[in-house]
Amino acid sequence: MLKKNDLVDVEIIDLSHEGAGIAKVDGLVFFVENALPGERIRMRVLKVKKNSGFGKVEEYLSTSPDRNMDLDVAYLRTGIADFGHLAYSQQLKFKRKQVVDNLYKIAGLKDVEVAETLWMEEPVAYRNKAQVPVRRVNGQLETGFFRKHSHDLMPIEDFYIQDKEIDRLILFVRDLLRRFDIKPYDEEEQTGLIRNLVVRRGHYTGQIMLVLVTTRPKIFRIEQMVEKIVAAFPAVVSILQNINEQNTNAIFGPTFRTLYGQDTIEDQMLGNTYAISAQSFYQVNTVMAEKLYQTAIDFSDLTAEDVVIDAYSGIGTIGLSFAKSVKAVYGVEVIEQAVEDAKKNAQLNGITNAHFVADTAERAMAKWSKEGIQPSVLIVDPPRKGLTESFIKASAAMHPNKITYVSCNPATMARDIKLYQDLGYQLIKVQPVDLFPQTHHVECVALLVKA
């Protein structure tokens, strides 16, 4: 029987959905980081459970032709790019396979049209948002990323999938913090001032927002720091401070202060302009988000007579993309600030046929039903946990002709599609979209039509 620290030669036969290699030994399934299908490795056993275990590569006996040999392992160890060791063309195939497998295993569907994954021409340096912890490592203030499943900071200068200008700003601020002797946060001791740097950059506008997350209000000589940042980076139009006094994994605390400029930046998506605040949900890959939303528009095959309900409407990015093609859009979102942002974004773009409310989707739909609002198209873009059963029943009760489902988790999407099928909807086609190249995440657009 295998036990911890044993060495065993194995062949990797598959990948887990999070990018770990899978090997089978003595009836156990082992997960091995940085191992690809087809590779033979000498594996050291790290942990053995009842039916599975974890191992690490002690030595590669043979490597896959699909291996990206140039990847710095720091990106795998931190999870920044947990698929980065796999050639991009194979990442796309694997993501499509995940969608196909989930539809079959969970929803029992095998004859659905699942297109090839929509890919990104430059699948690196795409993230328009960074959330970077600041900690002391070997006596020095560092910025970087936590090692997976830990709070040990690995100092990183080039984040690989982040906008290069964001990387440059983070290093500049890191050096300023060192120079001004600002103390980094220490989780164990509950000491230090600066916890995180959060940066957002408009893909089309180039406008940059910097948020300094601190444990208390006062930052020594902050005016001089702000002056230096703005002089070196004229694109910085917003510098905020967020105060988070709690010992928590949440990045932001409740209090924001504007230290310089405005409290939002602007960017465009599919020709509309959006005001983006520090807490706004805004897709981190603008280029591929446009492809995702355009796919949703194309699948919905909209006409000027259509009435669209946009559930989980956020700051309005999907609903406002639809608005110009249809009679009316009704958006619902539980986060009140997001609804205020959506209304402002409608005004910003001169869109008058989009109406947004702060409520649960179930309650809003019941109310709209009573008011005689009859949607022809329902668009949903739920979080990773997918839709609730009560939402699915309430939305099907409104009898939209089409449901366009935008998903960031193929497993919960397949589960929800199965429920919609029981309520008289048929899955027509699915388009995977690679919104997060080099990582295990896959987005999809699925079209369901009333049978």
Which residues are marked as active site? 408
In this structure, what are the phi and psi dihedrals at residue 167, rounded to the nearest 5 degrees? -55, -45
Q: Which amino acid is at 420?
A: Y
CA distances from 183 to 127, 191, 196, 224, 269 (A): 28, 8, 12, 17, 39
Beta bridge partners of residue 118, listed in sequence order: 433
Among residues 342, 345, 355, which one has the least CA distance to residue 272?
A: 345
Q: Cα–Cα distance between 167 and 169 in angstroms, integer? A: 6
The per-residue DSSP string of 115-175 comes to: PPPB--SS-SS-BSEEEEEEEEETTEEEEEEEPTTS--EEE-S--SSB-HHHHHHHHHHHH
d(CA 8, CA 159): 34
The two structure tokens encoding residue 157: 């200068």
Taken in order 269, 271, 277, 280, the sign of the CA dihedral is negative
Specify the long-range contacts of residues 24-29, CB closer than 8 Å, at least 24 apart.
26/1, 26/2, 27/51, 28/2, 28/52, 28/53, 29/53
| Residue 123: HSE in the Cβ half-sphere, 13 Å Cα cutoff | 20
Give the C-alpha separation, 117 to 401, whole Å. Answer: 26
Contacts of 363 (CB under 8 A, 6+ apart): none
